[in-house]
Structure 1
């Protein structure tokens, strides 16, 4: 195995010359690694003979699929085994080896009946996956065995059976029926402004808000697939189906366990075991997460060829593109500093690097030290290197309860969920998906860059015309009418027509169902039936613990909760569609009645975190004409605010600590006025507190939250309604960390600002300190254990029903 050494960075000596200790260690490490034999030892003559005997029984070497393809094949494999079991057609292996076309067609009927398939594309994908399953299991290609004509005919008839029987019976919709919306700079501006200035969502850390903005920018500027930035690896099935299908690399003509062959009696067992491993699946792990890591990014300060000023620049090397495991084809994109601070990805990347302490140079600690770097004479750029320990760490990482994971990347689902919710709350008619940005980048490059460059940036094979088939904007972005009439074309109008911003209504949001609609909504008969059954079982009792029908009551409660949530989500979605369809008619009728037109008023920036308020005003109210020095100062200020905001967080206590104005319908009535410029409103002044953190706390305050500098002062000094609620909060959010510290022999710190130097040895000592010094009584260990046991029992009852 290669030796592992910890690299020590070279430090300048007293005279300024570098210390080469780190280089000498690197050389020694590489020389030690080179002495280790990495290639496997050659097989002996007897082992080669055994290997030839083994290959003699090999019928088919399985193709090398990507891990995602293997997981997809195991999915259809589970459906096939279920079909063989429930329909009693026989063993799955024997049935697929002697597959006939009637079984094949009936299987797809079974799939459509028992699984939620809504489109033709999904059912056709299942047909392709089943073809791969057949090849993997039987070792016979569709057109390369004695069943060639039968299987080929079966596929053809299956296609006809699919179109003539399955599609009309289950109402499978055709692909692309909902269109393929495209983003542009106006759409990006709206979502970035909303994310920074108006979004009221609560994230575990405001660092996630910075990650979202940076992801939005990079997706739109590069057309990268989301899986190139965040983690989108699917989990392998735990039922053993992946190993059952792909555990060996070959299909043997005579089935033997593990693909082994019969050996001579006098053959060495070590030789046979070594040969047997050749056709077994290896477990090859990655040395880094499959997401954008620091080693993929190069930050640099470049001397501008025209002005000669030192300007920041960045390059990103995308390596986790589609098909990268089998055919790696990385693409490098360069970024320059944008003149509009809101659109600049370099500032966000610098901020993330400062927050992660990722720069190799110790002097790069803030915005001014990074953006104030000068390029040495005779050189064109000065790269800013990363620490070796940060190279394989994801840039966008998972955040849980205010703690940033060290090496777990942000999930694809989290990015997609937040982007969709923010797009709806920002007033867009359709929920955004991450593909919107990729289509926007592709259409922006189309016509502005040569087709080979466009295909290179999108990682498309030009032979298949992927852009024309899947990414070209379905809206013809050309004024053919006026071109035919030889009149001046309306280019600006058609620029508006071609993107999702056309139908945006800033008055709309995700959940906009009026209260009177909920009040007058007819009850769901299914939910009423379940509630009636539950009331009969409860017999008028409120507490159900110990009731003989407790399991059934809890099962009915879960069903009612699920159905009610599903109905509410459906009504919210349908009302939003109803609103966007009928709102123009309501506006027309208001005009016909002679009423004043509703004028959209830019909502005021009303945020809890002061750093976020300052950042929002800096980004949203940027003057148009700034000198180079003024722009540099604003960039420095923006990075400093990004860094300060990244360490802050809000909690659900926010809504109860400070009254907030509603921004859901920022409309005023009256004569229409033209707004000449957007100016930041003065920030309200808060009355100074004499002592916001007294040593003797309120009995219902949290002893940990009061010292959390990431929260606002309102949330730190928040008092719960009862001590029981405070104890529930402390046990759920803080107690686990203190118990873990006690088990690892680490000191337990008191988080109170005036007890920062207090270190305690046990949770028991922490409870005594909090009660005697701060006047807060926490639950004892016995009480905590009793509560935990009760929660586990309730979960077990709910799960077993």
Structure 2
């Protein structure tokens, strides 16, 4: 290879690059937004005349706020209809304090409100609805009286609990290691494509390293209601007097019509999904200032934070290669980019080519550009069937469900949410960096001290006892106390209800009543097509199915809580009886897809003795394995089917011979033999 130094900046440029530049420049010139034409003196006069009748300019709400307001709007219209109060708009325009109080009594009694934090949020949304419709802010004295009525009457009447009574769990590096290891090595659940597993690892890492909200990575947008309520409430930017509305409705000439459109709500589009896209990621090779070696680094610019529509606070985070490969987000992003063929350089087809790239010339970095067609494509995308979507971001609901499921299956007491990671990042930075850096990372306004009210770990991370006694502080113990891994039991799984519980669970009286109604309507007939009560029968069937699924979820959740509460007592009593502790063995990695098995071996069995060269070689191998794994699918394993016997005269029972022949062997947790002990056995 030639080592000659190119002193001219265009030495390596293609011969026809100037034509490519001119073509791109011409295309951008055509895309320039044309500024609207200025108004004439007559048009300005007509505009002033129209603005004279404008009583109130509506606040600029975000899309999420508008959806929230339409939610309380539907509750308000139902309240007016059910209680025969009258037209909803006339009622809110002449709103009385007693009507507001009675409305929230209706809301707490007819909707699923468990915390007074939820009811207070409804009250704030109702104030926004009132302002949007009437063009006035709610009277401050009336608002205070409504809040006092809420605290003194509604909270005790409905037993509303205080918010955040369940604590504020926080993740740390040990928690991240557990879920990353479980995700790649022990998760027995299957995905439509194994790329989703790689995407989950990337999401977990970035959430913990940046404190970003999940909607900055994946699609967290809710759909607009289909009843036209958004158009009804926010179709106009202003609230006008009655005479002004008639005047605008009577505008017939084209100029007046154009001026009226200035006051109409316009739809703005982003031109890209509201999620992490390739244009937000800056991948590059830099020259290390100490060693002079070329190393890959990555920067991510987060722009879709909460409130970005009105107060944008773009924040850039840099990432460097980690020595522990399982923690490296750069590897995940490079693997996804290689799988998407997103690099602009055609020679970057595998991990070796990426890591062999050097920094040439007097520059300090060589950016790895993306193809222009990939700039607005989400990095973490959803899967339809067995096909990866070309431009649809992964749904927040999918990320939240998989994170909760994997955390429970890996033995944690409570399901995780992305907020656990955000709290973990904030508490990791707190004290280690200035408050200004922490607030910048969290996108918080320093004036409101949001971190201390919403994100500060409720566990005091300091050995105050030994500090007072002037003795050696137990820092390692307090590091363990402050995070969710303290109560983890790797033998526990998400659904660990014994068969004896399902077999002896009494029937639900509500379900029995519904089944009796259905049996009466069916009149002994099995098929209901063409039945005179077919619609009612199908409605009852759906309601029975929903209630049965809800009850099963409550049993699964309740037994897990029962196990985690009573298992320590069972262990104490067993020790008192002189029983011998059963040795816990780490589970073996048993995977079908060879790429995933090898990847799990590299990530989970990395020794501390690896040299930098060995780490680099395994880093390249791991990226190539992830690229190959993206198109694979793990085969389903035979999971233990539980005998969920439903006691009731309308439940069909299998024959004893069939039940005896089809009873499966007891299953084993992916983290080792689960010690499921019944109360009598303890």
User: Residues 187 and 500 of structure 1 are in contact (CA less than 8 Å); yes or no, is this contact kept in structure 2?
Assistant: yes
Aligned residue number for residue 273 of structure 1: 257
Aligned residue number for residue 209 of structure 1: 197
Cα deviation, 1:687-734, whole Å, max 9, x if unaligned, reads xxxxxxxxxxxxxxxxxxxxxxxxxxxxxxxxxxxxxxxxxxxxxxxx
Q: Distance in 2 between matches of 1:22 and 1:654?
A: 57
Aligned residue number for residue 27 of structure 2: 29
Aligned residue number for residue 87 of structure 1: 83
Match of 1:345 among 296, 319, 329: 329
Cα deviation, 1:175-196, whole Å, max 9, x if unaligned, reads 1111100000000000000010
User: Residues 598 and 669 of structure 1 are in contact (CA less than 8 Å); yes or no, is this contact kept in structure 2?
Assistant: no
Aligned residue number for residue 406 of structure 2: 422
Relative to structure 2, which stretch is displaced further, 614-623 or 494-503?
Answer: 614-623
Alpha-carbon offset, residue 27 of structure 1: 2.2
Q: Distance in 2 between matches of 1:661 and 1:374?
A: 55
Alpha-carbon offset, residue 292 of structure 1: 0.4
Alpha-carbon offset, residue 141 of structure 1: 2.2
Q: Distance in 1 between matches of 2:193 and 2:401?
A: 16
Higher relative contact order (CA 8 A, sep 6+): 2
Structure 1 vs Structure 2 CA RMSD: 2.3
Matching of residue 600 in structure 1 with residue 584 in structure 2: yes
Aligned residue number for residue 792 of structure 1: none
User: Residues 321 and 330 of structure 2 are in contact (CA less than 8 Å); yes or no, is this contact kept in structure 1?
Assistant: yes
Matching of residue 409 in structure 1 with residue 393 in structure 2: yes
User: Residues 109 and 166 of structure 1 are in contact (CA less than 8 Å); yes or no, is this contact kept in structure 2?
Assistant: yes
Match of 2:548 among 564, 574, 577: 564
Match of 2:48 among 32, 48, 52: 52
Cα deviation, 1:426-476, whole Å, max 9, x if unaligned, reads 100011111000000000001111111111111111111111111110000
Alignment CA distance shift 1:640-1:551 (3 Å): same
Alpha-carbon offset, residue 661 of structure 1: 9.9
Aligned residue number for residue 185 of structure 1: 173
Cα deviation, 1:340-382, whole Å, max 9, x if unaligned, reads 0100000000000001000000000001011111111422111
TM-score normalised by structure 1 residue count = 0.77
Match of 2:124 among 124, 128, 134: 128
Matching of residue 114 in structure 1 with residue 110 in structure 2: yes
Aligned residue number for residue 235 of structure 2: 247
Aligned residue number for residue 329 of structure 1: 313
Aligned residue number for residue 148 of structure 1: none
Aligned residue number for residue 195 of structure 1: 183
Alignment CA distance shift 1:85-1:557 (3 Å): closer
1:681-720 matches, cutoff 5 A: none
User: Residues 53 and 261 of structure 1 are in contact (CA less than 8 Å); yes or no, is this contact kept in structure 2?
Assistant: no
Alpha-carbon offset, residue 493 of structure 1: 0.2
1:66-85 matches, cutoff 5 A: 66-85=62-81
Aligned residue number for residue 431 of structure 1: 415
Aligned residue number for residue 631 of structure 2: 647
Q: Secondary structure at the match of 2:17?
A: coil
Cα deviation, 1:313-355, whole Å, max 9, x if unaligned, reads 0000000011111111100000000000100000000000001
1:492-511 matches, cutoff 5 A: 492-511=476-495
Gaps spanning 5+ residues in structure 1: where? Answer: 1-11, 143-150, 671-801
Q: Distance in 1 between matches of 2:442 and 2:223?
A: 27
Q: Secondary structure at the match of 2:297?
A: strand
1:301-700 matches, cutoff 5 A: 301-650=285-634, 662-664=667-669
Cα deviation, 1:19-69, whole Å, max 9, x if unaligned, reads 3321120122234445xx711112223222211110111111111111111
Relative to structure 2, which stretch is displaced further, 534-543 or 371-380?
Answer: 534-543
Aligned residue number for residue 137 of structure 2: 141
Aligned residue number for residue 19 of structure 1: 17
Alpha-carbon offset, residue 528 of structure 1: 2.5
Q: Distance in 1 between matches of 2:670 and 2:23?
A: 64
Q: Distance in 2 between matches of 1:137 and 1:540?
A: 54
Q: Secondary structure at the match of 1:383?
A: strand
Q: Distance in 1 between matches of 2:632 and 2:668?
A: 23
User: Residues 615 and 638 of structure 1 are in contact (CA less than 8 Å); yes or no, is this contact kept in structure 2?
Assistant: yes
Alpha-carbon offset, residue 121 of structure 1: 0.8
Q: Distance in 1 between matches of 2:555 and 2:464?
A: 41
Q: Secondary structure at the match of 1:505?
A: coil
User: Residues 478 and 494 of structure 1 are in contact (CA less than 8 Å); yes or no, is this contact kept in structure 2?
Assistant: yes
User: Residues 599 and 669 of structure 1 are in contact (CA less than 8 Å); yes or no, is this contact kept in structure 2?
Assistant: no
Matching of residue 288 in structure 1 with residue 272 in structure 2: yes
Alpha-carbon offset, residue 113 of structure 1: 1.2
Q: Distance in 2 between matches of 1:261 and 1:553?
A: 50
User: Residues 597 and 669 of structure 1 are in contact (CA less than 8 Å); yes or no, is this contact kept in structure 2?
Assistant: no
Matched length: 643
Aligned residue number for residue 152 of structure 1: 140
Cα deviation, 1:252-285, whole Å, max 9, x if unaligned, reads 122565871655xxxx711111111111111111
Relative to structure 2, which stretch is displaced further, 538-547 or 391-400?
Answer: 538-547
Alignment CA distance shift 1:518-1:626 (3 Å): same
Relative to structure 2, which stretch is displaced further, 335-344 or 58-67?
Answer: 58-67
Aligned residue number for residue 647 of structure 2: none
Alpha-carbon offset, residue 566 of structure 1: 1.1
Aligned residue number for residue 765 of structure 1: none
Q: Secondary structure at the match of 2:169?
A: coil
Q: Distance in 2 between matches of 1:273 and 1:545?
A: 55
Relative to structure 2, which stretch is displaced further, 83-92 or 363-372?
Answer: 83-92
User: Residues 54 and 244 of structure 2 are in contact (CA less than 8 Å); yes or no, is this contact kept in structure 1?
Assistant: no
Q: Secondary structure at the match of 1:299?
A: strand
Match of 2:60 among 49, 58, 64: 64
Alpha-carbon offset, residue 15 of structure 1: 9.8
Matching of residue 99 in structure 1 with residue 86 in structure 2: no
Q: Distance in 1 between matches of 2:218 and 2:532?
A: 49
Q: Secondary structure at the match of 2:390?
A: strand
Alpha-carbon offset, residue 554 of structure 1: 2.9
Alignment CA distance shift 1:138-1:546 (3 Å): closer
User: Residues 342 and 619 of structure 1 are in contact (CA less than 8 Å); yes or no, is this contact kept in structure 2?
Assistant: yes
Alignment CA distance shift 1:269-1:365 (3 Å): same
